[in-house]
Amino acid sequence: MKIGTKGRYAVMAMVDVAKYGNKTTPVSLSDIAERQEISLSYLEQLFCKLRKAHLVSSMRGALGGYLLSRSSDHISIADIIDAAEEPVRLTRCPSIKGKGCMKNEVQCLTHHLWEGMGNQISSYLKKISLQDILDKKSLEPCALIESPSSNHLEYSTCS
């Protein structure tokens, strides 16, 4: 399983905005490009997608740039990867329900294995927020425990 460049760079850039920006001070793409060593033209393409997904808003002018559209604890890594158009899919089957990857359009023998694994990865990425990354919380799968009373994570040590 590999997340593509779009997804990885979008996450890196969004963490940068969360770290260096605030409600009134936007972060310029040129600053992000320099700090994260990502091409400015590539960031422009990504931020167009992030803006369309309502994850960031832009401010024009000499001191312009991008701000998070909502707080960093309400933006998941899955939101960012989805906005960058990088779906987490492990099967080679088309995304059409019931259609398989085999010549006769049946699902391969391992389809449910890869689909289940993809669902686990997607679920994991939905539970990680930008704020979790900034706080450098342990993100090991064994350390994440879903709180029964909320949609947030609690952390424990791995044994």
Dist. CA 60–CA 28, nearest whole Å: 10
Residue 102 lies in a domain: no
Quote the pLDDT of residue 61: 84
Residue 32 lies in a domain: yes
Locate 1 and state its tokens.
């399983």
Quote the pLDDT of residue 126: 92
2: containing domain:
1-87
Quote the pLDDT of residue 159: 39
Confidence band of 95 (pLDDT split at 50, 70, 90): low
Residue 13 lies in a domain: yes
Cα radius of gyration (the chain): 18
- How many structural domains comprise the chain? 1
Residue 61 lies in a domain: yes
Residue 37 lies in a domain: yes
Q: Mapping DSSP to helix (H, G, I), strand (E, B) and coil, where does residue 56 land?
A: strand
Percent of the chain scoring above 90 in pLDDT: 50
Question: Residue 129's closest CA among 157, 145, 156, 153?
Answer: 153
Residue 144 lies in a domain: no
Confidence band of 158 (pLDDT split at 50, 70, 90): very low
Provide the phi-psi class of 51: left if phi over 0, else alpha when psi is between -120 and 50, else beta: alpha
Name 146's Cβ contacts closer than 8 Å, sequence gap at least 6.
127, 152, 153, 154
Mean pLDDT of the chain: 83
CATH number at residue 8: 1.10.10.10
Locate 134 and state its tokens.
């900034």
Q: What are phi and psi of 56, to 5 degrees?
A: -135, 160
Quote the pLDDT of residue 143: 53
Bigger pLDDT: 149 vs 56 = 56
Q: Say if strands 153-155 and 65-68 run parallel, antiparallel, or are unpaired.
A: unpaired
Residue 99 lies in a domain: no
Read off the pLDDT of residues 44-72 as tens digits, 9 standing for 90 and up.
Answer: 999 999 999 999 999 988 888 999 999 99
Confidence band of 157 (pLDDT split at 50, 70, 90): very low
Dist. CA 113–CA 58, nearest whole Å: 41
Read off the pLDDT of residues 97-121 as tens digits, 9 standing for 90 and up.
Answer: 667 777 787 777 877 788 788 888 8
Q: What is the largest CA-CA distance in the chain?
A: 58
Residue 146 lies in a domain: no
